[in-house]
Each structure stands twice: as C-alpha cells, then as structure tokens.
Structure 1
C-alpha cells in the first residue's frame, strides 16, 4: 500500500462537527495550530523494513536484445536467453545521508578533473541516485553476474544458504580505505570508480566469498576474482550440477573487495588509475564510511532472497523462491 502525505485541507477532521463550548464562547481567541496529518504520519510511521528496497531493485525490462542506447552505451555482459536466469550474490549497503553527500562529492570532483566530461565516453556516471534523484543502494559483489537454468534456482539458493549456515557467522563491520580507485570489469568494457575495503578482523568477507565461489563453480560458473574456468560453449548451464576444480578456497582475495560508486566507458589515464583522490579528499573510516554487514543477498532473475547472518534464515522478497 503506498504511503501518501495529505495536505492540511484534506485532513481527517470532520468539518461538519459542532464546535466545542470553549471555541463558541471565545471565537476570536487564537487557537494553537494543530499538527497536519502529514506531520502526524511522520511521527507515527514505523521505519521501513530492511527488505523494502528489494521490491524495487529491478528495473522494468526494456528489451530482450542488447541495445546500448537504452542504458548509456553499456553492453549486456550475459546475452538474454529464454529460460536462463541472470543471478548475483552480493552484500547490500545503504549509506546514511551524510555518507551519500560525501560519496557524491567524490564523483563530482572526479568529473571536474577529467577533460571533455561532456563527451559520453569520458563522463563519469554516478551509481548513487536513480534517474528521479532517489538514493540507490550500493553493493559488494560476492559473485560475478552468473546464469542459472530455471530448474537450478532452488538448488542453488539451498546450497548457498546451507554453506553460509555452516559458517556460523555473526554480523560484522567493514571500513573503506582512504580515497578512491578505478577498477575495470573482467572484459574491460567499463571502468568503475570504487571505494576499496579493508580486510575485517575475522576475515568474514573472504569466508563469504569462498562459499559463494564454491557454490557457483559447482554450477559451472566462474568464481569471482579466481582464475577463470571455461563455461560450456553455448554459455548455458548443463541440466545437472558439475563440480569444477579451480582456485584456492583459502586464498586471500581481500585486496579485490570494493564498492562501486560510479562508472565510465573510457579507460582512465595512467595518472587517474594510480591516484584518484587522496586521504584528505576521499573520506576515511573516521568520517563514517563504515559498512555493517548483516545479510547476504541472492538475486535470481527479479527475485531477491536474503540470508541473514545472525540466524541464517533465507527469505524471498516476493515469495516465488520461498
């Protein structure tokens, strides 16, 4: 049910009701302004549930074909095939208002420092807000964009949830390293402006990546930040799970972890790749760029499932995979 704020003239007070004796005896006395329904709603409405953003995380599909003109020149990484379900494992981060302000200042500074920013290829596109200006959740990837067949969805979610449950992991906090950096996607078609993340004390992020990689490789997919393992020639999943051997499960991959805040199609110059912003310009742990990790998100098609670290229960945002 949508949340609607009404104007004062549309309040719930019945204008036909009789005035109180106090008002009748002194009509000229100034009455204290009563709070509007909008103000009352703001005071009484409970906070939005943590899964609220999941309901609106996927944009409507504009085309089944790869049409870069629909999305600022970006190329589809995984071609659309009927019966395939694009999927992703990640940790979601919703910055505070102050954190959004800091991140937006970083993107603005980078755009000001680049030459010919009005050219689409050079312009840095922010990932912080939607086309309507609403703040967008950011994320830390625990998998590449992968593809599942329809019959594999439930098994994949079950297997990954079981492995996270086995870790017995509690919620933890990550912190961004000073400054920002550039990272290319695996086929060098886009560059991302990112915040690097420090390795947490319990190495929890590495552990979550290990179980995610172990699971996706059993379904014939590439492991994130590991040596690539070839997919079947037609890039479609076999009907049955196939265990693939590759990469060390215990490898320290924490140097790769990051949060993307903007992107561009043009490769940054060498000087831009080695230094984007210094510690005094890009923010730090002391300025509040901490990321609290309580839930792992598993997006399968348009369905987003949450696996909470505290009690490790899996729920589907729209009930399809529950």
Structure 2
C-alpha cells in the first residue's frame, strides 16, 4: 500500500508561526524605511556613528530559517512580513486512555523508525494551510462562522492506522483514519471550501483522508513503516482495551488558527 498524501499539513518550520509568505501575484508591502531629505543649509555634514547605522541594518531581513530550532522540519516557503499562515480543523482532545494507547503504538513504531516523535497536539484538518493578509483575518473568520452556523455536532470514529507524507515528502506521519463520520466531514469541507473560494484561496484536497496524526519524523519513512510495522500497529489498536469506545469522538467545534490567533466556532 502506498502512503496517502497528508491532509492539511505543511512542512513549515514552526507550529507557532505568526506570519507566512505572500500569495502568488500579490505585492509585497512597502517597507518602513525612512526617506532622506536634502539639507538646504551649506553646513558641513558629520559622519553618522556606526552605532546608529547598525540600528537599521536588519529591518528588511526575514527570520533565520534554522531547522534545528523546530525538530529538523524544513520550511517550504520563505517568511514574509504581513502574511499569516491559516488552518481550519476540528480539535481532538486526547484523554488519558488515548495517550496510553499512543505510548504503546509509538514504542512499537520506533523499533522500525527510531526518530519518530509524538505529536504535541491532535486534530483533524478541514483545510490546507493557506496564507491570509492580516486585514483579511477577521472577515475570513466571520465568513467561516456564517457557514458553520447550521452544522450539528456529530460522532466520528478514527481507528484505522495509516501512513502519510506531506506533499514534499519531507515529513512522514502515522495517523488514525476516520472510519465513521466521513460524510459529515465532507459536508464541513464543502462549506470551508466556499469560504476559501470567496477569498481566492486554495481549497481542500480531492478525496481527502480525514485522520488524526499521532507521530511524525523528518524525511520519507514510508518503506520502513508500511508492511509489517503497519500491520503490527493495527493489531495493537484492534486489541487495545475498549478501543472501540475510546476512538469514538464527539465533534463539538471547528477551530481556525491564523498565526498565533485562535478562533472557535461551536457546532449546534
């Protein structure tokens, strides 16, 4: 079985990015550089001290893209000031029993790929990561709230182990795919896509595999994780005590993360 494409994740450097690159075709905002005027007085000009010149030496420089600061993840686009990475998803609240299951799964998977690490938080994506200008954020969120207003809460089950990669194949994930509730997720994505189209943004993937990512590693580790490893991980899930009830979850809200801002849209 070939690895499924990862739904809704980018390989950008940090989960806490507050800004992202400009969309194609959109102009870069003007810098706040200072304009120099001519001096009408015929007085002698004194040299500007180095300490003053150095104050403005880095105003046009972006942040250093050091992958060692975020687990070796590789940024797939350059940082540009004034743009915000934005993502729509349903949060997955991990209970103690879920974390117990995850410990067993990760321990077994690390015998095949030792560099795997646990996800810091869990969710199911309803959009790709897109770019918003700062002044678009509030109108975008309001449009989302309008489109989400009629949706009811629903239960879904995620208990099928699958291996995913991002589009660039720079990161590999172990996930639990949704096996019930798929139709409700498609309805939500349909409304999210309408909002994306209103703002001329990229819509979601065709035939998406809705899932909760459990662990990840840098690079393409599909060959090591599929086959025997995948079979053993599925057996652990199937045999785990009360796994059927443990992995049946109530979807109660849709959440939007834009840079370091979070917006919640409760379902009815």
TM-score, length of structure 1 as denominator length? 0.59
Cα distance change on mapping 1:199 and 1:104 into 2, 3 Å? same
Equivalent in the alignment of 1:51? none
TM-superposed deviation, 1:215: 1.4
CA distance in 2, matches of 1:274, 1:212: 35
Counterpart among 170, 173, 180 of residue 155 in structure 2: 173
Aligned partners of 1:183, 1:302: CA distance in 2, in Å?
26
Deviation at 1:78, TM superposition (A): 4.0
Structure 2 counterparts to residues 220-231 of structure 1, below 5 A? 220-226=200-206
- 1:259 corresponds in structure 2 to 212
SS in 1 for 2:193: helix
Pick aligned residue for 1:138 from 122, 129, 132: 122
Match of 2:110, SS state, is helix
Equivalent-residue separation in structure 1 for 2:225 and 2:17 (angstroms): 35
Match of 2:186 in 1: 206
Structure 1 residue ranges, 4+ long, deviating more than 6 angstroms after superposition: none
Distance in 2 between residues matched to 1:224 and 1:147, nearest whole Å: 14
Q: Deviations over 1:254-290 (max 9, x none)?
A: 5x11111111123224363345144431247525112
- Following superposition, the deviation at residue 143 of structure 1 comes to 0.9
Residue equivalent to 1:187: 168
Check if 1:65 corresponds to 2:47: no
Bigger-Rg structure (1/2) = 1
Query: Aligned residue for 1:82?
Result: 81
SS across alignment from 2:127:
coil
Deviations 1:26-79 (A, max 9, x none): xxxxxxxxxxxxxxxxxxxxxxxxxxxxxxxx7588x82321111121012443
Greater fraction of residues in strand? 2
**Structure ranking higher on relative contact order (CA contacts 8 Å, 6+ apart):** 2
Listed as ranges, the gaps of 5+ residues in structure 1 are: 1-57, 118-122, 128-135, 227-252, 311-322
Shift of 1:192: 0.8
**Structure 2, gaps ≥5 residues long:** 1-14, 19-61
- Distance in 1, Cα, partners of 2:246 & 2:262: 28
